[in-house]
Amino acid sequence: MRCPRCDGIEDKVLESRSLASGESLRRRRECLSCGYRFTSYERIEEKRLMVIKNDKRREVFEREKLERGIQRACEKRNISQVTIEEMINDIEDEAAMIGKSVHEITSRKVGEIVLKKLYALDRVAYVRFASVYRQFKDVDEFVREIASLKGGD
């Protein structure tokens, strides 16, 4: 959080307290550059996004799962970790936006978002992801496959 006095970006949290409504968090912070103390208010993460699988079962959206599949597709490509991280952030944001009102999204839709982002980023990574993903019923099955491939390297 940026210090309102010196613009420093590093601070430590002195105290955290959720407000009575339960929807936001108040934090007392101290800037590590100039020692200025200030208060921030943050919205507490809303209900977790659920992913509806093809067989209609629902699972909590997990960034880590997504990350494993994407890292694998981007392996040995000239793509920085920062770029990959940012892309995953975008995918997560987009999934959350789509599922905002009902807190759920289909796994197919998640797969489509990933493919769209990979396509824009790197065609080889896209083809790798797509060629495996398309054979599977949903992204979870794909990720399981990816995980098992990883062991065989």
Q: Which stretch binds Zn ion (CB under 5 A): 8-16, 86-94, 95-103, 137-145?
A: 8-16
Residues linked to residue 13 through DSSP beta bridges, in sequence order: 29
How many whole angstroms separate alpha carbon 92 and alpha carbon 44? Answer: 17
Distance in Å, CB of 2 to Zn ion, minimum: 9
Closest C-alpha to 76, from 32, 117, 128: 128
Does 135 engage in binding with Zn ion (CB under 5 A)? no
Among 10, 14, 26, 33, binds Zn ion (CB under 5 A): 33
Can you read off the two tokens belonging to residue 136? 């599977």
* Interacting residue with Zn ion among 6, 9, 14, 44 (CB under 5 A): 6
Residue carrying structure tokens 């065989």: 152
Contacting residues toward Zn ion, per CB under 5 A: 3, 5-6, 8, 31, 33-34, 36
